[in-house]
Amino acid sequence: MADVLLGELSQRACPVCGSRDDTAVFAPARLDAASLDRYAFASRKRPEHMRLRLVSCPDCDLVYASHVPAPEALARAYEAAAFDSGPEARSAARTYIRAMGALLRELPDRHGTLDIGTGDGAFLGELLDAGFTGVGGIEPSTQPITAAEPRLAGLIEHDVFRPDVRQQGSLSLVTCFQTIEHVPDPAELVRDATRLLKPGGLLALVCHDRRSPVNRLLGLRSPIIDIEHQQLFSPKSVTRLLEGAGLEEVGVQAIRNRYPLRYWARLVPLPRRAGEWVERRLLPGRVGDRMLSLPVGNLLAWGRR
């Protein structure tokens, strides 16, 4: 089953700095064919604690999978991935646009945006509400697009990100939230995205911080240690990623995420049955809908062209 979904794995160098020293094993591979179902590549799902072999780069601080599926196999896995996260996607989009407030005020203008890995386009809705025009997103999975609000569905292209998706120098803002861990070549994506920006345009990423207190505490039980993550960043490695693409005024900031209690409960490392019991019995209906902000180890990282 693992073979069917992931195909043959091939070895790679550090996808941020190119170092070939993969001797510092962060976690050995852990694959379970029975759990490699279609939800393994859905966002905001219950974690199953599977992972590729992860190594820690001695040069740039990235943790990355040293042996990865072919990009086509990944694209197929995401194409078929189930989507189960509408309300959470809206909470996240609101969190991100608030965190970016000061950065958005310094854009060259509010015309021309692209959200890479936009899911159901929740962030596109926030941009429209904030007065942006020329808003668009790209998403490799079918299901979130089907679940998009009618006003957003037409703004989403169903594809993986490609450098010719927009004209070079045509965008004020490119965003990529909770996606950079998933792509086969994050340095290439950031370089290509940077070329799409106007002078002074902003590239903003949200990614997990593997060095945050919560992720250090949970260790290999953290939900970020997951089969779908090809690499995991820290402030140092994400800064290197953005500066490597020629971006300037690079900055990194921890953000607090605001989600319903039900979603937080899903991330606690409990056995599957116990987790489902908590969700059903302790957090029924409106209790589970209550919103809670927590610093869960996410980083907002940005740079200007």
**Contact positions vs Zn ion (CB under 5 A):** 14, 16-17, 19, 57, 59-60, 62
Nearer to Zn ion, 17 or 270 (CB): 17
Please state the closest distance from residue 207 (CB atom) to Zn ion, in A.
15
Nearer to Zn ion, 57 or 127 (CB): 57
Instruction: Tell me the pairing of strands 9-11 and 133-139.
Output: unpaired
Please state the closest distance from residue 73 (CB atom) to Zn ion, in A.
24
Cα 281 to Cα 3, 154, 244, 272, 273: the distances in Å are 37, 39, 49, 14, 12
Nearer to Zn ion, 60 or 156 (CB): 60
Nearer to Zn ion, 15 or 47 (CB): 15
Strand-pairing partners, residue 11, are: 67
Q: Report the distance separating Cα 214 and Cα 121, nearest Å.
A: 28
In 223-293, alpha helices (H): 235-244, 261-267, 272-277, 285-289
- State the DSSP H helix or E strand holding residue 9, giving kind and residue range, or none if neither: strand 9-11
Nearest to 235 by CA among 205, 256, 257: 205
Nearer to Zn ion, 23 or 281 (CB): 23
Cα 299 to Cα 37, 107, 147, 177, 215: the distances in Å are 29, 20, 27, 10, 12
Please state the closest distance from residue 303 (CB atom) to Zn ion, in A.
18
The residues, ordered by sequence, that sit 6+ positions from 74 with a Cβ below 8 Å of its Cβ are 68, 182, 184, 230
Please state the closest distance from residue 178 (CB atom) to Zn ion, in A.
21
> How is 264-284 classified by DSSP, letter by letter?
HHHHS---HHHHHHIIIIIS-
Please state the closest distance from residue 57 (CB atom) to Zn ion, in A.
3
Please state the closest distance from residue 161 (CB atom) to Zn ion, in A.
22
Please tell me the number of Cα atoms within 13 Å of 157 on its side-chain side: 14
Nearer to Zn ion, 190 or 267 (CB): 190
Torsion sign across C-alpha atoms 46, 37, 34, 55: negative
Nearer to Zn ion, 238 or 265 (CB): 238
User: Under the phi-then-psi rule, with left for phi > 0, alpha for psi from -120 to 50, and beta for the rest, what region is 158?
Assistant: beta
Please state the closest distance from residue 224 (CB atom) to Zn ion, in A.
18
Nearer to Zn ion, 91 or 239 (CB): 239
Please state the closest distance from residue 65 (CB atom) to Zn ion, in A.
13
* Cα 38 → chain centroid: 18
